[in-house]
Amino acid sequence: MMLSLKQVEDYDQQGFLIIKDFISGSQRQALMQHAAQLIDAFEPQAKRSIFTTDEQERSSDDYFLKSASNISFFFEAKAIDNEGNFTVPKHQSINKIGHAQHLLDPVYKNIVKELDFANIGRALGIVQPRAVQSMHIFKQPSIGGEVGLHQDSTFLYTQPKSCIGFWLALEDATVENGCLQALPQGHKIPLKQRFKLSKNGGTEFECLDNTPWPKAPLALLEVPAGTLIILHGQLPHYSAANTSSKSRQAFTLHLVDDTCDYPEDNWLQPLKTL
Ligand SMILES: O=C(O)CCC(=O)C(=O)O
């Protein structure tokens, strides 16, 4: 699709843009059904081993870092109890699937191509769009976790900064089930931190600006299924825990500009060949 001048202006002014009916019902169903099939085929350990804190951190860091270039499954924190047992059935335990299905999985790959995010990225200033990360987020009923206030350029840093996030509602997103919340015009504040590889092989946050978040209220971005929300990489956004009985599935894709420098110590090192 082509963005209008007004849409580009709104994005530049507010730091986000909402486009209703961006994706068809059949495309949404295809993505959700496919995710369900991937979860069918995924075999979590029946009982997760108990590690010491250090080992646990190392192994989850390792799984997380490898997910940059494969299709990994992450659990909702509340889906596993202190003894490592699942508290819910497998299909309700997954927080998200990520981070390279847009490159590796034919169903995601086709839909990403059909929706032509790269063209929208170009309209918003990216010279050479490169999709570096995708996520299928579930926000499970009753246990879907909170996502703390953050800026996406923290995780996908380039010099100069270029990240744009595309957040696609696969189901209705409401206050009850943890819709996105964002700070209007918040993309004008500096980037607060960078999440990067640390010297010991793990990950760490580097502080870039330690002023507190602005006190202004967040806008509640309640949207019907099929809506696309485009987020500027510096726009602070958040989502609350889902305590309702409905899931709130979303698909996200992040673009950066390949003409910018992508540091070797970014946590996410995308597949080199693509
Ligand atoms: O879907 C959510 O709840 C949050 C997603 C998000 O913040 C992100 O993709 O950066």
170-184: pLDDT as tens digits: 999 999 999 999 999
Residue 181 CA to ligand 1 center (angstroms) comes to: 9
User: Which two tokens mark 109?
Assistant: 């790959």
| Residue 99 preceded by cis peptide, ω within 30 | yes
Among 175, 187, 229, 252, the mutation site with the greatest number of ligand 1 atoms within 8 A of its Cβ is 252
Tell whether the model's pLDDT for residue 49 goes beyond 60: no
| Ligand 1 in reach of 179 Cβ (< 6 A) | no
Residue 202 CA to ligand 1 center (angstroms) comes to: 22
Q: Domain residues of the chain, as ranges?
A: 5-257
Tell whether the model's pLDDT for residue 45 goes beyond 80: no
For ligand 1, what atom is nearest to the CA of residue 150? Answer: 7
Q: Cα–Cα–Cα angle for 168, 172, 173, nearest 5°?
A: 75
Contact 98, 136 (CB under 8 A): yes
| Ligand 1 in reach of 111 Cβ (< 6 A) | no
Contact 226, 22 (CB under 8 A): yes
In angstroms, the CA 241 to CA 231 distance is 20
Mean pLDDT in the chain? 93
In angstroms, the CA 110 to CA 152 distance is 24
Percent of the chain's residues with pLDDT above 70 = 93
pTM: 0.95
Task: State residue 47's pLDDT score.
Answer: 44
State the sign of the Cα–Cα–Cα–Cα dihedral 150, 211, 216, 14: negative
Q: Is residue 221 left, alpha or beta, with left meaning phi > 0 and alpha meaning psi from -120 to 50?
A: beta
| Ligand 1 in reach of 225 Cβ (< 6 A) | no
In angstroms, the CA 227 to CA 222 distance is 10
Task: State residue 149's pLDDT score.
Answer: 97
| pLDDT digit string, tens, across residues 65-116 | 999 999 999 999 999 988 888 999 999 999 999 999 999 999 999 999 999 9
How far does Cα 172 stand from its chain's mean position? 17
Beta partners for residue 207, in sequence order:
193
Place of tokens 């819709």: 179
For ligand 1, what atom is nearest to the CA of residue 239? Answer: 3
Percent of the chain's residues with pLDDT above 90 = 86
Tell whether the model's pLDDT for residue 211 goes beyond 60: yes
Domain 5-257 fold is Jelly Rolls (2.60.120)
Classify residue 236 by its DSSP letter: -
Q: How many residues does the chain have?
A: 274
Task: State residue 46's pLDDT score.
Answer: 46
| Ligand 1 in reach of 133 Cβ (< 6 A) | no
Tell whether the model's pLDDT for residue 167 goes beyond 80: yes
In angstroms, the CA 240 to CA 269 distance is 29
